[in-house]
Amino acid sequence: MSKDSLFGGLPPPVTSQPLPPRSATGAGRGEAASSIPSILSSSAASKRSVADDDSHAGKRVRFKPTTTEATSEQVLEAMAKIASHIGNPGKFPKASKLALQLLESGSVTPATADAFFSILKAAMARPSNAVEASLRRDYQALFVAVHDRLECFTGAQQAQISVWEFWALVGNDFVMDDTFVFSKASGRVRQAIDELPEATDEANIVEEREEKTKDEPIEQGQSEKAVEDAAESDPFGLNAFLPKRSKKEERLKRKLEEEAASKRAQEEAGKLLRERREALLQCLKIAAEYYRLTWAQTIIDILVRHAFDNRAKFSAVHQGAIEKLWASVRDQQVRRKQGKSTTGKLDVTSFERFQEQYSRETISIRRAVGHGGGRSAEQWLG
């Protein structure tokens, strides 16, 4: 360098030393320290994902979608299970909801109507259950849905369902605190009474006999006996190998079968008619229980009087019950004309009752009386 150099006399520059390499131990510790949170976070995330998967899986098990259509065999099996439980009043609410699901899902078709009719038959084994306070809503919901699917059932089944509806629907409509519903139910009962035929002496004898033994389960035994008789007639199926009968024997056999079928049809029609009369009488009794309601009294008067005028269409047993109902209604009519209620006290309206109550109250009027009152409500409510 020249003497005139700007950097003359300065010490030589120091060469930059490279930084010492990080020790392997320190690097390992740093990597371990940096990796620990990531490992913990990843393990926690995996646990959360597993827990979420388990919870979702549990939800899928509890709330399994029912989009898959059940086969006819599964539907029939479900109907058989429901029929075995729905006759128990304690199990009826749950069983009826399952039956409703079958109706709403379209599982009740002409092919499965017989099996579903068995459910209804088991539910109405004791028709009085349909008007029980704890069960009436479930019975109403079930038979309203059944009424919407009547086309799936045969004519005989529809006739039986119409009788059950007087218990499950019409009888429970009288319990509603609604003038329109009450009046509509009364009109339906009057129309059904008009459609009844005159009761015969034979029908009276049969009904008196059934009245004594109505609690005995005879239907199932009779049906089982008929099946057994049919099976015993040809237990090994050998009739096909026997020589053919003559035309005369065939005609005789056909005639006997027709007579037996006609007799069964008559018995079923008579039984259905007796059940219809019993259901109508029960509707009359339920309606008469609400005679204490002022708005229902005129409706009940007309209904019971109509039944009394047409009592010849009922059996002798039912006629006695209708005459007692009419006597009770007439007695209460006399009380009403005398200004007394059904309890024997003077009949007053709610307005008159409140008028009497407030006429005895002491009311403080500003600048007129003190806080203690002393001025009765003479001007209140007239």
State phi, psi for 374 to the nearest 5 degrees.
105, 0
Beta carbons of 102 and 75 less than 8 angstroms apart: yes
Predicted local distance difference test score (pLDDT) of residue 9 = 65
Confidence of residue 348 (pLDDT cuts 50, 70, 90): low
pLDDT of residue 199: 85
pLDDT-based confidence at 205, cuts 50/70/90? confident
CB 225 within 8 A of CB 231: no
Q: Which amino acid is at 22?
A: R
pLDDT of residue 247: 76
Q: DSSP alpha helices (H): ranges in the chain?
A: 24-62, 72-85, 92-104, 113-123, 136-147, 155-165, 171-173, 179-195, 201-212, 219-233, 247-288, 294-309, 316-337, 350-359
pLDDT at 6: 62
- Predicted structure pTM score: 0.63
Instruction: Tell me the C-alpha distance between 319 and 324, whole Å.
Output: 9
- The pLDDT value recorded for residue 39 is 44
DSSP string, 237-297: --GGGSPPPPHHHHHHHHHHHHHHHHHHHHHHHHHHHHHHHHHHHHHHHHHHTTTTSHHHH
The span from the CA of 76 to the CA of 347, in Å, is 58
Residue 327 confidence (pLDDT): 94
Tell me: pLDDT of 177 over 90: no
- Residue 201 has what pLDDT? 73
304 pLDDT more than 80:
yes
Predicted pLDDT at 28: 46
281-304: burial string, b at 16+ Cβ within 10 Å, e else: bbbbbbbbebbeeeebbebbbebb
Each residue's pLDDT tens digit, 65-84: 455 677 888 999 999 999 99
Q: Is the pLDDT of residue 379 over 90?
A: no
**d(Cα 95, Cα 128) in Å, to the nearest integer?**
18
In angstroms, the CA 161 to CA 163 distance is 5
Encoding tokens for residue 93?
A: 């609410």
pLDDT score, position 36: 44
Question: Which residues does 298 contact at the CB level (< 8 Å), separation at least 6?
Answer: none
Lowest mean pLDDT across 180-184, 272-276, 285-289, 369-373? 369-373
> Which pLDDT score is estimated for 234?
58
Could you read off the pLDDT of 274-284 as tens digits, one per residue? 999 999 999 99
* Distance from C-alpha of 325 to C-alpha of 319, rounded to nearest angstrom: 10
Tokens of 144: 């309203």
Rounded to whole angstroms, what are the CA distances from 254 to 234, 239, 247, 257, 314?
Answer: 17, 16, 10, 5, 36
Average pLDDT (110-121) is 95
* Residue 135 reports pLDDT greater than 90: yes
Q: How far apart are CA 202 and CA 212, in angstroms?
A: 16
Give CA separation, 235 vs 64, 225, 228, 241, 250, in Å.
Answer: 47, 15, 10, 13, 21
Percent of the chain with pLDDT over 90: 46
pLDDT mean across residues, the chain: 77
pLDDT surpasses 60 at 375: no
pLDDT of residue 45: 52
Partner residues linked to 51 by β-bridges: none
272 against 10, higher pLDDT: 272
For the ranges 46-60, 174-188, 255-269, the lowest mean pLDDT is seen at: 46-60
Interval 21-32: pLDDT, tens: 555 444 444 444
* Segment 5-15, tens digit of pLDDT: 566 666 666 66
- What is the residue type of 250? E
Q: CA torsion 42→45→51→53, rounded to 10°?
A: -100
Q: Which of 119, 173, 122, 127 is nearest to 290 (CA)?
A: 173
Under a CB-based contact definition with an 8 Å cutoff, are residues 317 and 208 in contact?
yes
User: In whole angstroms, what is the distance from residue 62 CA to residue 73 CA?
Assistant: 24
CA angle, residues 349, 355, 361, in degrees to nearest 5: 145
Q: Average pLDDT of 346-370?
A: 61
Q: What is the DSSP letter of 312?
A: G
- Residue at token pair 């005989």: 156
What pLDDT, on a 0 to 100 scale, did the predictor assign at position 257? 84
- Encode pLDDT of 222-263 as tens digits: 444 444 454 555 566 666 666 666 777 778 888 888 888 888
Mean pLDDT computed over 164-174: 96
